[in-house]
Structure 1
Amino acid sequence: MAAVDHPRLSGGCLCGNVRFSAVPEKLEMDVCHCSMCRKWSGGVFMAVPCGDSVEFVKSDTLETYKSSEWGERLFCRACGSSLFWRLQSPHQYVVAMHAFDDISQFHFAEEIFIDEKPAHYSFSNDTRKLTGAEVMAAFAAGQGSDNG
């Protein structure tokens, strides 16, 4: 469930064919280093958990790719923007941070699947770091996951 003390933020894809608003659960941006996120986003997936608060203003070109038994990735078929990772049931959204129109309020807080991070890059920020096993254990315990 989305936190009520954070503002509803607008966002969209590169071409503007997908527009949405969402309420971040926290004003933190998390990074996923898993191989699926890296391939899908062309780097790391910088994400903001928004729970079930995502509302679409325009979604004519929004496509869904089922990437695992529990997760889906949503993107714009017109411009290719990677926009959301979503838990299939119940729908819980993790929004690509850069899809928001204003990203100034987010701070970099956590890196997940740190054990899958390639050796050729590192972030200098002091972040919480979780392995894939730790993320999946939290997911199994009902605390959610940004991966899949």
Structure 2
Amino acid sequence: MAEQVTGGCMCGAKRYVATIADDDAYLCHCRMCQRWSGNVSIALKDMAKADVVWETPPDYFASSPIARRGFCAACGTALTFEFPDSDHLDLTVGSFDDPSRFRPVRNYAVESWHTAWLDVRGLEAMRSDENSNVVDRWMKACGKLPD
């Protein structure tokens, strides 16, 4: 059953409502997405363009002769990947207000993946609220930790 979910950029200038049918998402490992996100991969949710309503449309960067990427020019948040001639786009999973609901169901562009980053469960793990250096900065700046 279709459900409406919300999302947007870090600063709140770009917001959307998306109608989703499922929680399926995927990881893209292509070099263009790596450079765009500044990461080794990016989590994306394939959507029909008609199922995304923007309160304020994203800014766009023509990242290649065949595609463009939506982002917020104010805060830099990556929001979309899309082919202009397609009726679909990909929303970045991290831009949803509740990204925890989504689950990866496939990998794309595996020729560029970095295998050392695929399974990190065995690495040391630390919560951000256990880092006194960061906690002290947040408390001095605004008296509380971020959500």
- Report deviation, 1:122: 1.4
Query: In the alignment, which of 34, 37, 41 is matched to residue 37 of structure 2?
Result: 41
Measured in 1, the distance between the counterparts of 2:66 and 2:12 equals 28
Distance 1:109 1:91 in 2: 21
Provide closer, same or farther for how the CA distance between residues 123 and 28 of structure 1 changes in structure 2, counting only shifts above 3 A.
farther
What's 1:73 paired with? 69
Distance verdict in 2 for CA 1:90–1:122, change over 3 Å: closer
The alignment-based identity, stated in percent, is: 25
More strand by share: 1
Compute the displacement of 1:124 (Å): 6.6
Tell me by how many angstroms 1:123 deviates: 3.4
What is the correspondence of 1:1-148 to structure 2 with a 5 Å cutoff? Answer: 5-43=1-39, 44-52=41-49, 53-59=51-57, 62-123=58-119
Pairwise CA distance, 1:113: 0.7
- CA 1:118–1:63: 2 relative to 1, 3 Å: same
Contact map agreement 1:6 1:23 (CA 8 A) in 2: yes
Please list every run of 5 or more consecutive structure 1 residues that lacks an aligned counterpart in the other structure.
126-148
Give 1:25 shift.
4.8
What is the identity, as a one-letter code, of the residue corresponding to 2:101?
A: Q
Q: Is the 8 Å Cα contact of residues 80 and 89 (structure 2) preserved in structure 1? A: yes
In the alignment, the residues of structure 1 paired with residue 21 and residue 30 of structure 2 have an alpha-carbon distance, to the nearest angstrom, of 22
Bigger helix fraction: 2
- What residue identity is the alignment partner of 1:96? T
Q: TM-score normalized by structure 1?
A: 0.73
Whole-Å Cα distance in 2 between the matches of residues 39 and 24 of structure 1? 27
